[in-house]
Amino acid sequence: MDAVIGIKGGDEIGELTALVGWLRTERELEGAVQVMRRDIAETELGSGLDVISVAVGSGGVGAALAQSLSAWLRTRRSDVKVTLTANGRTVEVDARRVSDPMALISRVLDGDDAPGN
């Protein structure tokens, strides 16, 4: 399964670059992080912004991604939102307004269908 991560708000290209660099320093994510072009929507004139794809399989990669992404969000000073899509589900995490991003991210990566999702 792949987890796809996008950035909204702030300097999107700069934030995406910072996140890619952050994730690539994680030993558990080594070789799993790729930058990809997303599909262009009908309402867009140019190419889609880049997104990050992380190959999440066994061996704790999902937990490492949730932990690392949560830590990165806590370091952001600008108003940035991260969109994470995995298991056919999407969650948008606002760096400034979510107190426990790891719980949200983990539920999407685990495919948790608990009430309130």
**Which whole-number Å values give the CA distances from 89 to 23, 105, 110, in the listed order?**
21, 11, 10
Give pLDDT, residue 48.
57
CA–CA separation, 77 and 10 (whole Å): 10
| Residue 93, strand partner residues | 82
Which helix (H) or strand (E) element contains residue 35? strand 33-37
In which band, very low, low, confident or very high, does the pLDDT at 20 lie, cut at 50, 70 and 90? very high
Reported as a single tens digit per residue, the pLDDT across 54-81 is 998 766 888 899 899 988 988 887 788 8
Domain boundary assignment for the chain: 2-40+48-110
Provide CATH code, domain 2-40+48-110.
Answer: 3.30.70
Reported as a single tens digit per residue, the pLDDT across 105-115 is 887 887 765 44
